[in-house]
Chains A and B, each alone.
Chain A
């Protein structure tokens, strides 16, 4: 498999074939949009494409942090609650005021990053398994949201945030530009910075990363903090889109945040995958969900189908797991040295 010359930089980071995966996902998304003409003549055009892109922006944003966590071999199950608290805090405390927006948004991002940071502390220093730590954190954060709002979020819509979705430049909603910017920035962080490069090293082989002198714990901690902030940002965006916040607004995004990353070609076991792939995964899943919605099925069953589609996508990608397991089996001799347990990164 030899990627063309323009992916040399990527190839150098050891990531060539992932680009093809992402391109395939974008292609599939386009095909699905075009094919949806068959369902309704109003579909398959630019209007529908715009709608899908706008709707996918939440998953695109939340998938960034989720992917970083997954790259280290972890998982963030708290993002639904963190999205909710991000949206609810903005609704309650920022509201319509543009000046409050200027200090409020960074502050809310800091709060959600801190929540993610607590996940990181739990996983890295207290050695709680990521599943349990983030699941528990999700429950705690949900409870806190309930406490803060007394059960009913009250506030005002923010015209400035809503403008992201209503205002357009060149017939393209602002949020799509925003999404593009996030995609580029996210990819640069992954591929161009020392942080990104070290993260892949940690994900590929934590023990070797530790021996090579990488700050493995600190890097892992950071991914959770970033995941918190990106979930917070997604919550703020959702609030802008809906003009309000509910206590369940983030719920629908937990599985898609993981599915987009995994469908996007990121190894669930850590160490490989590109953000651009996760973006492709987010677009594809959102398109699916939109097309399913248009079939005129009752909402409950729609969710069932959506869940099944995600499950199916993960099953198809399971091949990767087989490959990995196969490699393990094919390893000629037990790798462990007599008498010496394999070193743990935090030994």
Chain B
């Protein structure tokens, strides 16, 4: 194969995609209940839906990572059932994943050329040839500013996202899947140009985003998923935002924040006070969290929210600044010490940092209170069962799950168990990082209820969510983070998604 790069596949290669009644469940969790839509030759088709609507599962099916249980997928009229990522790629479908799939310890060039490294003399992978090819590829995609020799781990998040997209495009797909491609991009225009170029050449693009403005700009038609079902395909030009939103959430508009919850509980005693907190990614944050208060944090990806929450959870170092809990200065260098200081942390990555897949749900929940359950040095199983049962009831986790291995539970139930654990730990202040990530709508409602109950009993909550609607719905007030600083605050009637977006993009005050 010559080293020349062509972005544009021959026009006759353009394919249509027909998805018909596709279903998929993971154990007891139904991810897709029935999705049907079609993507015409060379169309840029939007896939819309809230988190947990089933978008990611559909992406995985089309990318060959998981197999659907039922239903059919046809690509260009042919049955399309790839058994691996490579098979999907060979059939002409390539994907830029939302959760980037680059190998951080390798260079941009290696990432772009794997698995088919350009070989030099002696049949060894040639760095020079690979980098030349990568440079050509990047230039062709208007991304010449990224050095092919740079390590991926040294790139900014936006650069990584671009490399991920360039790689997907470099396979010369006949169908390109872009999963939340602009989540981390500072200049989405770059992507729009690529998508438009590909579309003009006849490549189909499945564009997944919940940013309506982008979708309207690129796509003529869009399919709305809700709760694992395709609710319908709409002609975007003729649909108003409100209609699409109604299809996505299944109701007219988000209920306004509970009027009785305001006025904000600022006269309540202080629960957690931060003074000029600094550390990697966090650039001087001060805030007061009152008892009974839910304070939301809104931010675009990578504005220091993850670092801030990890600092408060004891999982990241605090370089300077003061933390006080109920007026008393505290210091902590580990989650254990944070917990002792009264701050419980629910991390974002449930499987990596949250649960213990090899243990039962009960063992997962009782972990922080084992010390209290000891009798003569042994765990008192009766009391353990009682405590775990109490915590499980708080989060509406069915008793039959408690004795099962947690790996057998759905993501939503795992998340409930995780929250049960942090409730059981006795911490009066919770730091929740995206606690409803990837859980179904029912579980979300339960988690909202738990958070409200917790604060009604005098607890305080700092909450980050990628879903602005959730922040608007739950928070007493909401802070916007931008580049490691708090750049604005919204409360009461001013707490709207539009307001949060403008604050979080740094256009607030």
Task: Give A contacts to B, CB under 8 Å.
Answer: 9, 11-14, 188, 192-194, 197-198, 200-201, 203-205, 207-215, 271-272, 332-343, 347
Shortest CB-to-CB span from A224 to chain B, Å, is 20
Residues of the A chain whose Cβ atoms lie less than 8 Å from the Cβ of B353? 205, 207-208, 210-211, 343
Interchain Cβ contacts under 8 Å between A and B, 15 examples: A12-B363, A14-B360, A14-B405, A198-B370, A200-B356, A211-B315, A212-B367, A212-B368, A213-B336, A213-B339, A271-B356, A335-B352, A336-B104, A339-B184, A343-B347
B157 touches A (CB below 8 Å): yes
Contact B339 A13 (CB under 8 A): no
Q: Check A211/B359 contact, CB under 8 A, given A333-B65, A335-B351.
A: no
Bound-state CA distance A209–B362 (Å) is 15
Residue of A nearest to B301 (CB): A338
Residue of B nearest to A208 (CB): B353
Of B355, B358, B379, which is within 8 A of A194 by CB?
B379
Contact B359 A200 (CB under 8 A): yes
B334 touches A (CB below 8 Å): yes
B118 touches A (CB below 8 Å): no
Residue of B nearest to A202 (CB): B356
Question: Apart from A194-B373, A210-B335, A335-B99, what 6 extra A-B contacts exist at CB < 8 Å?
Answer: A201-B363, A201-B367, A271-B358, A332-B65, A337-B349, A347-B316
Bound-state CA distance A14–B360 (Å) is 5
Q: Check A204/B359 contact, CB under 8 A, given A198-B367, A332-B66.
A: yes
Bound-state CA distance A204–B405 (Å) is 13
Contact A338 B160 (CB under 8 A): yes
Contact B363 A333 (CB under 8 A): no
Of A13, A194, A342, which is within 8 A of B359 by CB?
A13
Of A214, A272, A338, which is within 8 A of B99 by CB?
A338
Contact A197 B367 (CB under 8 A): yes
Contact B403 A213 (CB under 8 A): no
Bound-state CA distance A188–B317 (Å) is 37
Of A13, A210, A342, which is within 8 A of B334 by CB?
A210
Bound-state CA distance A198–B316 (Å) is 22
Q: Check A211/B347 contact, CB under 8 A, given A12-B362, A12-B403, A338-B301.
A: yes
Q: Check A211/B313 contact, CB under 8 A, given A9-B381, A197-B363, A335-B99.
A: yes
Shortest CB-to-CB span from B426 to chain A, Å, is 11
Contact B315 A343 (CB under 8 A): yes
B508 touches A (CB below 8 Å): no
Residues of the B chain whose Cβ atoms lie less than 8 Å from the Cβ of A340? 306
B201 touches A (CB below 8 Å): no
Q: Check A338/B60 contact, CB under 8 A, given A197-B367, A204-B357, A333-B65.
A: no
Contact A332 B60 (CB under 8 A): yes
Bound-state CA distance A207–B362 (Å) is 19
Residue of A nearest to B374 (CB): A194
Residues of the A chain whose Cβ atoms lie less than 8 Å from the Cβ of B97? 333-334
Nearest 6 interchain pairs by C-beta: A339-B157, A194-B370, A204-B358, A14-B359, A213-B339, A213-B336
Residues of the B chain whose Cβ atoms lie less than 8 Å from the Cβ of A213? 314, 334-336, 338-340, 368, 425
What 0/1 pattern do residues 151 to 189 of B give for CB contact below 8 A with A? 001001100110000000000000000000001100000
Of A12, A14, A211, which is within 8 A of B335 by CB?
A211
What 0/1 pattern do residues 93 to 123 of B give for CB contact below 8 A with A? 0000101110010000000000000000000
Interface bracket on B: 35 or more
Residue of A nearest to B359 (CB): A14
Residues of the B chain whose Cβ atoms lie less than 8 Å from the Cβ of A200? 356, 358-359, 363
Residues of the A chain whose Cβ atoms lie less than 8 Å from the Cβ of B367? 197-198, 201, 212, 214
Shortest CB-to-CB span from B364 to chain A, Å, is 8
Bound-state CA distance A188–B373 (Å) is 16
Contact B316 A337 (CB under 8 A): no
Residues of the B chain whose Cβ atoms lie less than 8 Å from the Cβ of A347? 315-317
Q: Which residues 417-438 of B sit at the A interface, judged by CB distance below 8 A?
A: 421, 425
Residues of the B chain whose Cβ atoms lie less than 8 Å from the Cβ of A208? 352-356
Contact B100 A338 (CB under 8 A): yes
| Among A204, A213, A335, A342, residue most surrounded by chain B Cβ atoms (within 10 Å) | A213
Of A11, A197, A332, A343, which is within 8 A of B370 by CB?
A197
| Among B302, B334, B378, B421, residue most surrounded by chain A Cβ atoms (within 10 Å) | B334
Residue of B nearest to A336 (CB): B99
Contact B66 A13 (CB under 8 A): no
Bound-state CA distance A341–B367 (Å) is 26
B348 touches A (CB below 8 Å): yes
B482 touches A (CB below 8 Å): no
Residues of the B chain whose Cβ atoms lie less than 8 Å from the Cβ of A342? 349, 352
What 0/1 pattern do residues 126 to 170 of B give for CB contact below 8 A with A? 000000000000000000000000000100110011000000000
Of A12, A194, A212, which is within 8 A of B360 by CB?
A12
B452 touches A (CB below 8 Å): no
Residues of the B chain whose Cβ atoms lie less than 8 Å from the Cβ of A214? 336, 367
Bound-state CA distance A213–B370 (Å) is 12
Shortest CB-to-CB span from A300 to chain B, Å, is 42
Shortest CB-to-CB span from B116 to chain A, Å, is 20
Bound-state CA distance A65–B299 (Å) is 48
Bound-state CA distance A197–B99 (Å) is 33
Contact A341 B99 (CB under 8 A): no
B72 touches A (CB below 8 Å): no
Contact A188 B359 (CB under 8 A): no
What 0/1 pattern do residues 284 to 321 of B give for CB contact below 8 A with A? 00000000000000000110001000100111110000
Residues of the B chain whose Cβ atoms lie less than 8 Å from the Cβ of A12? 360, 362-363, 381, 403
Of A197, A209, A334, A337, which is within 8 A of B101 by CB?
A334
Residues of the A chain whose Cβ atoms lie less than 8 Å from the Cβ of B370? 194, 197-198
Bound-state CA distance A342–B302 (Å) is 15
Bound-state CA distance A116–B104 (Å) is 36
Shortest CB-to-CB span from A217 to chain B, Å, is 9
Of A11, A209, A212, which is within 8 A of B403 by CB?
A11
Shortest CB-to-CB span from B481 to chain A, Å, is 15
Of A198, A212, A272, which is within 8 A of B421 by CB?
A212
B56 touches A (CB below 8 Å): yes
B454 touches A (CB below 8 Å): no
B11 touches A (CB below 8 Å): no
| Among B354, B363, B405, residue most surrounded by chain A Cβ atoms (within 10 Å) | B363
Residues of the A chain whose Cβ atoms lie less than 8 Å from the Cβ of B340? 213
Shortest CB-to-CB span from A54 to chain B, Å, is 30
B263 touches A (CB below 8 Å): no
Residues of the B chain whose Cβ atoms lie less than 8 Å from the Cβ of A14? 358-360, 363, 405
B345 touches A (CB below 8 Å): yes
Residues of the B chain whose Cβ atoms lie less than 8 Å from the Cβ of A205? 352-353, 355-358
Residues of the B chain whose Cβ atoms lie less than 8 Å from the Cβ of A338? 99-100, 157, 160-161, 183-184, 301-302
Bound-state CA distance A209–B143 (Å) is 41
